[in-house]
Amino acid sequence: MVKGREVSEKERILCAIRDGILNLDSEGVRGSVNRALSCGVSPIEIMTEGAFKGLDLIGERFERREYFLAELMVSGEIVKEALQLLKPHIEKEKVTSTGIAVIGTVEGDVHDIGKNIVALFLESRGFEVVDLGVDVPPKEFVGAVKEHEPQILAMSALLTHSAPVMGVVISELEKVGLRGKIKVLVGGAPITPEFAERIGADYAAKDALDGVDKCLRWIKGGA
């Protein structure tokens, strides 16, 4: 009976974390995460069964157009706050990061909303994110790949005239022998699967969550 009550309490708290994220309740999520830790729930389980499943629910609402960019940003920030609470406990368990991703908006473009959402959600999923910002020249992308040795390079462009810079970056990576070591994700309004194939990218994200989902599949060894 005691064991049954413990399981029931754990599930109740994890459900509260998921619901708190879905309802954009930052204070409620913080309280539930702290309660889960005090009850001895593993920080990894809090992340996977609580926070990450909450983000999955957010994604479902986004796909149904019940939530929009503002809600994505808020939910991502809430999960980042939760992960900050969990970080000291995760470090004690010596858990490695999901992976490393370099991200930026290409040269000639200063739009950053989509990029910021991808970066935020990658961080909330355990990635170490190197955000180069906006108007990033090809040599800076290449330098960051050399320095940080990421598994993923994500590039964003909202303007049609800036999108070809993505192809320049990929060409430069090929010249220095780095292209085969990473997956290249591209996204933004003018980006299509056909364009991604033409410039040699691995995937054109339909939206921010689609891009993050693809990154997670890559890290897990999927296509």
d(CA 207, CA 223): 18
d(CA 184, CA 200): 8
Any residues with CB less than 8 A from the CB of 160 and at least 6 apart, and which? Answer: 190
Q: Name the residues annotated as catalytic.
A: 109, 111, 162
* 59-77: burial string, b at 16+ Cβ within 10 Å, e else: beebeeeebeeeebbebbe
Q: Give DSSP secondary structure letters for 50-71.
A: IIHHHHHHHHHHHHTTSS-HHH
For residue 60, CA distances in Å to 63, 78, 210, 223 come to: 5, 17, 11, 22
